[in-house]
Structure 1
Amino acid sequence: MTTPAQHHVEPLAGYDRFDITASHRAVLVPGSIWYPASTRTYAVPIGDNPVFTGTRALVGAAAQGGKHPLILLSHGSGGNMDGLGWLSSELAQRGALVVAVNHPGTTSGDSSPRRTPRLDQRAKDLSAALDTVLADPSFGPLIDKSRISALGFSLGGSTVIDLAGGRFERTKFRDYCKRFADQGDCVFFQKGGIDFDHLPVEMEADVRDPRISSIVAVEPGLTDALSDESIAAMTLPVQLIGLGAPNPWRAVDVSASGSNLAARLPRASLETIRPASHFTFLGLCKPEAAQLLEAEQDDPVCTDPEGSDRATIHARVIEAVARFLGLAVASASANAAYQ
């Protein structure tokens, strides 16, 4: 008796989008969710564009039952929620729900230096997204409320620190930019005509969300501006991830050679992944992307250090985050890759 030949089925996460009503915004905030899927719908590349290769997902598929940890995801300055699909997809396949937003004023095609200091608005975007998904009849019942975390990259790293109780001080950031005026964050603000003596007072707002039980901050910015009191009071587990080769950017360095945030937080761990640059955290680039960016005089987001392999760095980031958050060490759906 013969059995039908097994055929390979690509393991994919589910994906859907939703609109977020937020009282602090005059517009709806775009949101998305990646999750472990229990059925197969049509697969499409999420976040695909002339520069970055998209991440395939099952749009609108039914989610796996049970209780799942939830991760709020915050993109970097000028980035977007779908651009980090490589990470969201893998965390979802390890059993998590990943909810992300496009932060108005600091997202792709809508990124302004004048709006960037409003970290309070970004943090509130994540809290509003959490409110929305908890109330959603499809996904709300699937959330393990004891395992809600937040993960952010670059400015998104600053955002999740703010969400966890970190308080940013305007005078400290002003002094940092006086000392390190050549750093990318300070240069970006200068291009927008930012007056460092008159940064928005809302930058210092307390926007802590007590529902967050842990955070992951990858190359977070503005950490020199954090108040000592708020750092000491941040007793939740924090994973800091640093990239950079041969040396990290001063603007996002949380080691002893930078802001030393890693040593100052009560329950922080620092994982350094190299060889990589700050931009290596972004998605996989298409073959012609580097030349296209050079022609457009854009940031070299597709140029990695010698000896670096972006896919390998991504895999190490995924495993580090999954380990810290207690997720499966390998994609859960990989076991069902054949049917």
Structure 2
Amino acid sequence: MAGAVWYPAEATENEVPLALFRQSVAVGAPVTGRSHPLVVISHGAGGSLVDHYDTARELARAGFVVASITHTGDTRTDRSRAMRITERPGQLIRLIDYMTTEWPGHGSLDLKRIGAFGFSSGGFTVLGAIGGEPDMTKVASHCAEHPKFYACVLQQDQGIGARPTTMAPVEHDRRIRAAVVAAPALGFVFEPSGLNGVSIPVQLWRAEQDTVLPHPYYAEVVHRLLPKAEYHVVPGAAHFDFMAPCSDALAKVAPAICPASIDRPAFHKTFNAAVVRFFEKTLGPDLRPQ
């Protein structure tokens, strides 16, 4: 799996390319400080490690180390494992293993302060990793009732039957102490008791005008099952508004990801600030040297 890490550093930033984006960072600078919380990021279906780079950068500015991966077989160029979604929590857990033992800066981490962020299929990934137990047999009846929904169309496009034949068991990781879940995919598969094992703080987001994962089958189900979650509904927002604001280059090659639904750059200032506050509150105070 390919990955990227954002972390606190005291060095001159430069604007550098990142896939179809540009970001201001100090590439290769040493990690500044110690006892940093770790946040891992899981992207949506057909995405990549860059999809939430702006959120990762804001968390790093606030003192977090942030690691994002590109999930195997679920990218824009390779959709071969997109429907094998129960494999994804295990991939995210492997990322935590790497960051806490092999990443060159792992000594700067506080291993008791680990969080996870997931969008769309990444939201499902995080819910599974923090204790969720999905009932994937529900997909068949759901797609029979809603054949035009995104996940059902994807399943048909890949020539997969209504019921998956083999699904990997979902792996859990008790090291994760807090989670942010935006527009989670397949929320309905956790009914009625699949989220009973989730006991950590969760911040949950829904886009009001989400036509990819329409209300009330996805985020709303998770809200009902996790009533104590910090729940945000973004007025006027579309599904992909949780991804980083579009560059001109991305808008040209993937216009569907860049709808003119809301002012996405303005929303991300609010969104990123809320994500940072949530992880600061749930993962404890900043322990860096002052």
Calculate the TM-score normalised by the size of structure 1.
Answer: 0.77
Which amino acid counterpart does residue 66 of structure 2 have in structure 1? V
Provide closer, same or farther for how the CA distance between residues 238 and 258 of structure 1 changes in structure 2, counting only shifts above 3 A.
closer
Q: Which has the larger radius of gyration?
A: 1
Aligned residues: 282
Matched, 1:300 2:252: no
Q: Secondary structure at the match of 2:26?
A: strand
Given candidates 239, 251, 276, the residue that maps to 1:322 is 276
Q: Which amino acid aligns with 2:162?
A: F
Partner of 1:85: 53
Aligned residues with identical type, % of pairs: 29
Q: CA RMSD in A?
A: 2.3
Q: Is contact 1:220–1:252 with CA below 8 Å preserved after alignment? A: no
**1:95 is aligned to 2:59:** no
- 1:193 partner SS: coil
Residues 120 and 183 in structure 2, CA contact (< 8 A), matched pair in contact too: yes
Aligned mates of 2:87, 2:37 — CA distance in 1: 24
CA contact (8 A) 1:222 1:252 kept: no
Deviations 1:273-328 (A, max 9, x none): 233211122233234754x34xxxx56111222xx21101111110111121117x
Distance apart, 1:36 and its partner CA: 0.8
Alignment-derived partner of residue 131 in structure 2: 165
Among candidates 69, 77, 80, match of residue 109 of structure 1: 77
Aligned partners of 1:164 and 1:208 also within 8 Å: yes
The alignment status of 1:120 with 2:86, answered yes or no, reads yes
Question: Where in structure 1 are there 5+ consecutive unaligned residues?
Answer: 1-28, 333-339
Contact in 1 for aligned 2:191/2:225 (Cα 8 Å) = no
Query: In the TM superposition, what are the counterparts of 1:16-35 in structure 2 within 5 Å?
Result: 29-35=1-7
Q: Deviations over 1:122-156 (max 9, x none)?
A: 11111111111111363211111221011011111
Superposed CA offset, 1:243-273 (max 9, x none): 133xx337264x6897522121153121112
The residue matched to 1:82 in structure 2 has which SS? coil
The match for 1:217 is 181
> Which residue pairs with 1:197 in the alignment?
163
Corresponding residue for residue 251 of structure 1: 213
In the alignment, is residue 276 of structure 1 matched against residue 237 of structure 2? yes
The runs of at least 4 consecutive aligned structure 1 residues that moved more than 6 Å come to none
1:37-52 aligned at under 5 Å gives the runs 37-40=9-12, 43-47=15-19, 49=20
Distance in 2 (CA, whole Å) between partners of 1:281 and 1:275 is 12
Q: Counterpart of 2:173 in structure 1: which amino acid?
A: D
Q: Which runs of 5+ in 2 are unaligned?
A: none
Kindly provide the amino acid, as one letter, of the partner of residue 266 in structure 2.
Answer: T
TM-score normalised to structure 2 length: 0.89
Q: Secondary structure at the match of 1:33?
A: strand
Amino acid at match of 1:46: L
Would you say the 8 A contact 1:69–1:97 is kept in 2? Answer: yes
Give the 3-state SS of the residue equivalent to 1:215 in structure 2.
Answer: strand
Deviations 1:189-243 (A, max 9, x none): 11111102234232xx131111111111100100111143331221111111111
CA shift for structure 1 position 56: 2.3
Cα gap change, 1:262 to 1:33, in 2 (>3 Å): same
